[in-house]
Amino acid sequence: MEDNVEVDVHDLQSLFSSTQRDYLIRNNGDQIAISTLNGKKLGLYFSASWCPPCQRFTPNLVDIYNELVVKGDFEIIFVSADEDEESFTGYFSKMPWLAVPFSDSQTREALDKCFKVNGIPHLVFLDENGKLLSDRGVEIIGEYGSEGYPFTSERVKELKDQEEEAKKNQSLRSILESPSRDFIVKANGNKVPITELEGKIVGLYFVLSTFKKSSDFTSTLVKVYNELKAKESNFEIVMIPLDDNEEAFQKELDSAPWFSLPFKDKKCEKLVRYFELSTLPTLVIIGPDGKTLHPNVADAIEEHGANAYPFTPDKFSELEKIEKARQEAQTLESVLVSGDLDFVVGKDGIKIPVSDLVGKHILLYFSAHWCPPCRAFTPKLVETYNEIKSKHDEFEVIFISSDRDQASYEEYYATMPWLALPYNDKRKQSLSRIFKVNGIPLLVALGPTGKTITTETRGLIMLHGAEAFPFTDERLSEIEAGFAEMAKGWVDKVKSDLHEDHELVLTRSQVYTCDGCDKEGKIWAYNCEECNFDLHPECALKEDKGKPNEGWVCDGEDATGTQVLIPVNGGMIELYISKQVTRDQQMIDTLMEKFNIFSKHIEQMKTEGSPNCSNPWSENSSLVSAGSTHVSPTQSIDKPTNLLGYAISEQPKEHTKSMQKIGKYHYQSKNLVIERKRRDRIREGLFALRASVPKISKV
């Protein structure tokens, strides 16, 4: 536990001075004696001009500094991670505080090391005696601004408690009012007292007008709003603008019939945190009593329009019943026939009437050539298709393209042996709505009656190939039974030299990385839940005779599940879950840019994917797709801390429980090899969070 051995009271002279120097500098060249810092609270700001999150954070910090510096007992010291003197000087010229001279790289590196800086921007607070208060300054500033002063843990706790209290006593005014403002605005500039909205059902509409999903939703919402207003419903909407650009904001407000918080009102960002905004568009519903009635009804409005009003639990269960009834009545023709459009096309372009397909097992394949995960999955689907088709003729796949031009559609379809909707067929819209397609590739299985069997066919095919056919629960139970059979003869618990601390338990697992051989495994693992440690049965039972020879794979090819990225201090955790959840890269990028939610700079999180891929699901089974933090070469690796628990993802509808386990992060293995490997992964800022994969213990 070497991490605990640290000095947390610092002597300022030895921190900042060198043998030639007992001063710090200002950007005008002034030299400020280090001794003048005695008795002041200090912020040590580790930052660099080449780091975009730093660039965004610095102006914030300048505002807060200017508010606090008048107190006379606060100072910030910039510790640069710039690459050359020139960029340092340019960057420092925007900072009203002190800096360690760029030329003194020794002191800068020593400070990096001393405060274990493993990513920037990084802000450390020391109290007036040089005692370490917090190294989470970036988060504290982001969350509380100057209110966080003096940045003691007591103060942070106090603010947290206040927030909790405010949540308990939530009212429309506590949500919307600020000390300096008790009104909201209309497009014409009129101010309306918040009290006028009390007693109404109020939708808080978070908008980033430059984000396409937001602007698309706005037009839907305007219709619904007008419809409800015409019925004299007790309903109002207040826009929470997240725009940086005043013009864009004004344009959005001009087109909206509802109210808004003022442009760049501080409350906007606060509400983002308060309601734990995780996606856009979001429409939070506040009931007449001021309490939150629903965290986000955007989907419900897309689907049911004004019928979703008044957004009560009763209303939602009613809508659910209607949807169930629709599903019960669903046939192949009800989903695939629209007026004259009663056919699909075959390889040679001939039209095949939908009626010819009635009674077959049908897979609807939502996919596009521009989407790398789609291209990666298609060959697997072709292989599976051929295998199923060779045994069951009553089986067909229909390609539903999201391609952007005829040529790429044709090129892509040429790789597929099955049927398709024609390019740009208008039925695609209704199919996307019915099957709630918000990410591709998506593979929907319809049974012979036309009813939906599952929308998670892709995952099943990745796991079980053609064996999964016909994708029913019954079939999956049979497969499970097969797995149980496979594990016969394996002991329930085993002690392994690779993990001396605890016994390992034989566990049903979807996909994991073996901590013994570092390769991927699936189906069965010997697992230590406490340490998040997995071994292939083969690796765990090495010494035993009767080695198992199936039930595990080491070749890392068939990963299934969906990648979800969870920001943590120092990087991203990559979460695999068996459910298909959209990883919405654009959303992640947008939110990351908007709010300094993450204290660290995440480098290029893109997979090899095209930047246009709006809903890419990474197929990468190895942990390479998310970025890493900027790590300075001198730094030691720290263990991950400060899980924000702030998932930028659309939560899967049922398996949310498994996703809530992310708070768990104990790691205590004594095995050095494994420790080193794990630290390597930590260094990359990436973890496969195996605890999140649904597991069934064998016993």
The stretch among 45-53, 404-412, 523-531, 642-650 that binds Zn ion (CB under 5 A) is 523-531
The stretch among 33-41, 117-125, 416-424, 513-521 that binds Zn ion (CB under 5 A) is 513-521
Q: Is 539 in the site for Zn ion (CB under 5 A)?
A: yes
Q: How far apart are CA 682 and CA 623, in angstroms?
A: 11
Compute the least distance from the CB of residue 33 to Zn ion, in Å. Answer: 52
Compute the least distance from the CB of residue 621 to Zn ion, in Å. Answer: 14
Q: Is 522 in the site for Zn ion (CB under 5 A)?
A: no
Beta-strand pair 361-367/292-294: unpaired
Compute the least distance from the CB of residue 577 to Zn ion, in Å. Answer: 22
The stretch among 65-73, 87-95, 489-497, 536-544 that binds Zn ion (CB under 5 A) is 536-544
Per-position DSSP letters for 131-183, written without gaps between them: BEEES-HHHHHHHHGGGGTT--HHHHHHHHHHHHHHHHT--HHHHH-BTTB-E
**Choice from 43, 203, 516, 537 touching Zn ion (CB under 5 A):** 516
Element (H, E) at 493: strand 493-496
For Zn ion, give the closer residue by CB, 369 or 536. Answer: 536
**Choice from 100, 528, 648, 691 touching Zn ion (CB under 5 A):** 528
Compute the least distance from the CB of residue 1 to Zn ion, in Å. Answer: 16
Q: State the virtual CA torsion across 145, 149, 152, 154 in degrees, nearest 10.
A: -90
For Zn ion, give the closer residue by CB, 144 or 687. Answer: 687
The stretch among 195-203, 437-445, 510-518, 561-569 that binds Zn ion (CB under 5 A) is 510-518
The stretch among 208-216, 310-318, 352-360, 527-535 that binds Zn ion (CB under 5 A) is 527-535
For Zn ion, give the closer residue by CB, 311 or 524. Answer: 524
Cis status, amide bond into 373, omega within 30 of 0: no
Size of the site for Zn ion (CB under 5 A): 10
Q: How far apart are CA 16 and CA 3, in angstroms?
A: 23
Q: How far apart are CA 541 and CA 633, in angstroms?
A: 39
Radius of gyration of the chain (CA): 28
| 3-class secondary structure, 614 | coil
For Zn ion, give the closer residue by CB, 40 or 519. Answer: 519
Query: What values do phi and psi take at 485, rounded to 5?
Result: -60, -45
**Choice from 256, 344, 531, 693 touching Zn ion (CB under 5 A):** 531
Q: How far apart are CA 577 and CA 334, in angstroms?
A: 32
Compute the least distance from the CB of residue 81 to Zn ion, in Å. Answer: 37
Q: Is 436 in the site for Zn ion (CB under 5 A)?
A: no
Q: Is 502 in the site for Zn ion (CB under 5 A)?
A: yes
**Choice from 85, 383, 501, 680 touching Zn ion (CB under 5 A):** 501
For Zn ion, give the closer residue by CB, 276 or 530. Answer: 530
**Choice from 62, 517, 643, 644 touching Zn ion (CB under 5 A):** 517
Exposure pattern of 101-140 as b/e (b: 16+ CB <10 Å)? bbebeebbbbbbebbebbbbbbbbbbbeebebbbbbbbbb
Per-position DSSP letters for 450-461, written without gaps between them: S-EEESBHHHHH
For Zn ion, give the closer residue by CB, 11 or 500. Answer: 500
Residue with tokens 């800096």: 99
What is the chain's length? 699
Cβ neighbours of residue 152 closer than 8 Å, sequence gap 6 or more: 127, 133, 134
For Zn ion, give the closer residue by CB, 357 or 531. Answer: 531
Q: Is 514 in the site for Zn ion (CB under 5 A)?
A: yes
For Zn ion, give the closer residue by CB, 62 or 517. Answer: 517
Q: Is 536 in the site for Zn ion (CB under 5 A)?
A: yes
Q: Which residues make up the interface to Zn ion (CB under 5 A)? A: 501-502, 514, 516-517, 528, 530-531, 536, 539
